[in-house]
Chain A
Amino acid sequence: MNIIVGGRSSGKTYLLNKLRDIFDTEEKSIKYIEQFDLVRDDEKKFNKRVEKDKSAIREAYLKEFRIAVESVTQIDRRATNHKLEKYVETLLDFASSEKLQDEYSKAVLFKETVYQIRRNQEEELERLLGAVALLLKDITYKGTINKYVSEDSLQNLFNDLTNQYKQILETRLKKEWVNELIKATRRHLESKTSSPKIDDSGIDFYQIKLERERVRRFNAIANSVKKEIEIKETEAFGKFKIRAIASPYTGAQGLHEESGKQISFTNAFTKYHSPIAFLEELKSIEGLEKSELYRYFCKVIYQVLNEYDKKVSGGEMAEFNLLKVLQDARQYEMLLVDEPESSFDNLFLKKNVNKAIKDISKDMPVIVVTHNNTVGMLMEPDYILYTQRKIIDGKDEYRVFSGSPGDKEFKTADGGETISSYDTLLDTLEAGQEAYSTRKELYDSFKKI
C-alpha cells in the first residue's frame, strides 16, 4: 500500500502516469482509476452507466428474439403478394381466353407445373451420415463406441442410410431434369403463341405457407417480448442487487433514444401494436441497421436496489460505483488511484474507500495519489512518496522523496537529499503545523461547549 503526496502541480499525477507506463505491459495489467472517475452521478447518468455495464443481460434475454427478427426481416411479403396476384390474374386470363388458344398453348406442357424441390430430407440424411461416419472413423474412442454399438451395426446403419440417401438424391435429380425440360418446352411454346401465358414462376404453396407461418410465429413472439416482465435479478453485490425489467416502449421518443441517431420514429410507432407491420416500418427507415431492429421491440431497464429492496439513494449510487470499479480492479495485477477524495466526503472515504482499497492492497500493489489526510494517513500506507517541484534558475525541477512510516526523513532515490517526513506530511495533508494545531484547538473548543 503506497501513497503519493505533494503540493499542487508537483508531479503526482505525472508520477502515477509514469508508473502506469512502466508497469502496464503484456505480462502485467494495471487498473488505473483516474481522478473524478468515481464521482457521484445524477440518476440518469447512473442509469446509463449501469445500462452499459449490464447490456449483456439484455443481449442474453433477446438472443432468441433477435434470431427470429433477423429471419423475418429477410421475408419480402410484398414480393410474395405480387407473385400470387400475378399468378391468379394470368391463370384467369389464360382460362378465359380459350378462343385465343392455338395448338401451341393447348399443349399440356404449356400449362404444366414444375416440381417443387425440397432438400430437407436430403440435408437431414447428410447430417446423419456424417455423424455415423464420425463414429466409424473415430480411433480414440473406438473401444467405448463398440462397447455399445458393434462395428457391424454401425456399418449396416451407414449402408442403409446411404441407400436411402441415394434414392432421395436420384428422385431430386430426376425432378430437376423434368423441371428443366418443362421450363424449356414452355419457353419454346410461349415464343410461338400469341395466347396469354400463366405466370406461376416462384409459386410454391409450401414456401408461401412457411413464410406466413414464420410471420405468424414472429408476431406471437414479439407480442410476448413486449410484455413487462422481470428478466433477471443479479446475485447480491455488496448490499446491492440489480433487477433487469423488460417493458414495452411507450412512445416514439424511447425508440429515438435507443437508436442514438437523428431519426424520427413517429410514423413507425403508430404500427408498434402490430409487430410485423412495425418491423416493415423499421425496415423502411434509412440509417437503421437491419441486424439491430430487434432492439426496438422492447426496452430493458435496470434497477439497482439496496438491502431493503428499495431503489438506491444518491449516496448509495456512489457507493455502488465504487464497489463496481473496485470489483473490476481485482481482475488486474496492480491498482493506481488518483485522488479518490475528489468523489467522496471524508466519512465515506474512511468508512468505505479506505477499507476497500486496503483490502485490495493485500492481493496486489496499490498506489494512491492524495492530499487528503483521511486517505493519506488513515489508510495506513506501507510506503510514502512525496513529489516536489522547485524552480531553479527559471527551470522546473521535480524530485521524488520516499520513505516508510516511522522514518524521520524521506530521501531521494540516490539518497543525496533528505527532508523531514513529519513536516512534509503535515504540510501536504494538514496544510502545515500551524493549521493542524489551530484545527485541533478549534475542535477542542467545541468540545468544551
Chain B
Amino acid sequence: MKYLKIDNNKGFYWDGNSYQEIDKINRESLLVLLNAAETNEFELDAYDESLLANKAHQVIYENIHSKFEQFLNDKDQFKTEVDTLYREAVSKYSADIQNENLDDIKDIESDDDEEDINPEDIPF
C-alpha cells in the first residue's frame, strides 16, 4: 500500500484512514507513517519534481521521502535490532508483545499538549 504517493500533480500521505495532501502533515500523521514503515506493505512513490506542480508539495514530499528512504535502506538491520530488543525479558516473563499497541504511548503524547500554556491564560 502507498503511504506516500504522487497523484494528480500533488503529494499525498496516508493518515490511517484516508489520503491527505502532504502540506497537511503533522507530528501525529508522521508517527502513523513511522508505525507502518517496517511492514512489507509500506510503499512510497519515488520523488519526482516534474510530477509535482505545487512548490510546497515538492519541498515537503522530497524531505519526508528522503528520510523514509534512509529508513527503508536500513529496514533489515532495524528488524534484526528489534528482534533482539529485551529478548531475555520478553521470553522470561512471557510478555505478549504481539498484542501490545502504542495506545498508552499516545496517552502520554497528548499529555504534552496539556502543558502548552495559552498566553491569554496568564493572569499578568
- Residues of chain A having any CB pair with chain B under 8 Å: 64-65, 67-68, 71, 77-78, 81, 84-85, 88, 91-92, 94-96, 98, 111, 113, 115-116, 118, 120-121, 198, 200, 203-206, 208-210, 212-221, 223-225, 274-277, 280
Across the A-B interface, the 4 shortest Cβ-Cβ residue pairs: A220-B100, A64-B89, A95-B56, A224-B93
Knowing A98-B55, A200-B63 are in contact, say whether A212-B34 is a contact too (CB < 8 A).
yes
- B70 x A210 contact (CB < 8 A): no
- B89 x A221 contact (CB < 8 A): yes
Q: Which chain B positions have C-beta within 8 A of A214?
A: 85-86
- A81 x B27 contact (CB < 8 A): yes
- B89 x A67 contact (CB < 8 A): yes
Q: Which chain A positions have C-beta within 8 A of B27?
A: 81, 84-85, 88
Q: Which chain A positions have C-beta within 8 A of B31?
A: 84, 212
Q: How far is the CA of A212 from the CA of B35 in the complex (A)?
A: 9
- B78 x A220 contact (CB < 8 A): no
Q: Which chain B positions have C-beta within 8 A of A111?
A: 59, 62-63
Q: Which chain B positions have C-beta within 8 A of A78?
A: 112
**Besides the known contacts A68-B86, A208-B34, A210-B81, 8 further A-B residue pairs in the complex with CB atoms under 8 A apart:** A64-B89, A64-B92, A205-B68, A213-B82, A216-B105, A223-B95, A223-B100, A277-B108
- B89 x A219 contact (CB < 8 A): no
Query: What distance in Å separates the Cβ of B88 from its nearest Cβ neighbour in chain A?
Result: 5
Q: Which chain A positions have C-beta within 8 A of B100?
A: 216-217, 219-220, 223
Query: How does the 8 Å CB contact mask read for B15-45 relative to A, with 1 for contact and 0 for none?
Result: 0000000010111001100110110000000
- B34 x A205 contact (CB < 8 A): yes
Q: How far is the CA of A396 from the CA of B77 in the complex (A)?
A: 83
Interface residues on B, range: 35 or more
Which chain A residue lies CB-closest to B88? A64
Which chain B residue lies CB-closest to A83? B27
Knowing A120-B77, A221-B90 are in contact, say whether A113-B66 is a contact too (CB < 8 A).
yes
- A220 x B25 contact (CB < 8 A): no
Query: What distance in Å separates the Cβ of B3 from its nearest Cβ neighbour in chain A?
Result: 12
Q: Which chain B positions have C-beta within 8 A of A276?
A: 104-105, 108
Query: What distance in Å separates the Cβ of A205 from its nearest Cβ neighbour in chain B?
Result: 4
- Residues of chain B having any CB pair with chain A under 8 Å: 23, 25-27, 30-31, 34-35, 37-38, 55-60, 62-64, 66-68, 70-71, 74, 77-78, 80-82, 85-86, 88-90, 92-97, 99-102, 104-105, 107-109, 112
Q: How far is the CA of A215 from the CA of B109 in the complex (A)?
A: 13
- A64 x B109 contact (CB < 8 A): no
Which chain A residue lies CB-closest to B72? A205
- B82 x A210 contact (CB < 8 A): yes
Selected from A98, A116, A120, the residue in CB contact (under 8 A) with B56 is A98
Q: Which chain B positions have C-beta within 8 A of A67?
A: 86, 88-89
- A96 x B74 contact (CB < 8 A): no
Q: How far is the CA of A120 from the CA of B86 in the complex (A)?
A: 17
Q: How far is the CA of A111 from the CA of B102 in the complex (A)?
A: 32
Show 21 A/B contacts (Cβ-Cβ < 8 Å), sorted by A: A64-B92, A65-B89, A78-B112, A84-B27, A84-B31, A85-B27, A91-B63, A92-B25, A92-B60, A98-B55, A113-B70, A116-B70, A200-B67, A205-B37, A205-B67, A206-B70, A210-B81, A220-B90, A223-B100, A224-B96, A277-B107
Q: How far is the CA of A178 from the CA of B34 in the complex (A)?
A: 26
Which chain A residue lies CB-closest to B38? A209
Q: Which chain B positions have C-beta within 8 A of A96?
A: 23, 56
Selected from B23, B59, B71, B104, the residue in CB contact (under 8 A) with A277 is B104
Q: How far is the CA of A321 from the CA of B75 in the complex (A)?
A: 58
- B71 x A205 contact (CB < 8 A): yes
Selected from A206, A221, A225, the residue in CB contact (under 8 A) with B74 is A206
Knowing A209-B38, A218-B86, A277-B104 are in contact, say whether A88-B30 is a contact too (CB < 8 A).
yes
Knowing A95-B56, A113-B70 are in contact, say whether A121-B77 is a contact too (CB < 8 A).
yes
Knowing A209-B37, A209-B38, A277-B108 are in contact, say whether A95-B55 is a contact too (CB < 8 A).
yes
Q: Which chain B positions have C-beta within 8 A of A219?
A: 100, 104-105
Q: Which chain B positions have C-beta within 8 A of A274?
A: 104, 107-108
Knowing A96-B56, A206-B78 are in contact, say whether A217-B97 is a contact too (CB < 8 A).
yes
Q: Which chain A positions have C-beta within 8 A of B93?
A: 64-65, 221, 224-225
Q: Which chain A positions have C-beta within 8 A of B90?
A: 217, 220-221
Q: How far is the CA of A28 from the CA of B83 in the complex (A)?
A: 52
Knowing A111-B59, A219-B100 are in contact, say whether A212-B105 is a contact too (CB < 8 A).
yes
- A212 x B104 contact (CB < 8 A): no
Q: How far is the CA of A120 from the CA of B81 in the complex (A)?
A: 9
Selected from A92, A213, A215, the residue in CB contact (under 8 A) with B23 is A92
Q: How far is the CA of A218 from the CA of B77 in the complex (A)?
A: 21
Q: How far is the CA of A217 from the CA of B92 in the complex (A)?
A: 13
Selected from A77, A91, A209, the residue in CB contact (under 8 A) with B78 is A209
Q: How far is the CA of A280 from the CA of B108 in the complex (A)?
A: 9
Q: Which chain B positions have C-beta within 8 A of A280?
A: 108
Query: What distance in Å separates the Cβ of A416 from its nearest Cβ neighbour in chain B?
Result: 70
Query: What distance in Å separates the Cβ of B78 from its nearest Cβ neighbour in chain A?
Result: 6
Query: What distance in Å separates the Cβ of B91 from its nearest Cβ neighbour in chain A?
Result: 9
Q: Which chain B positions have C-beta within 8 A of A84?
A: 27, 30-31
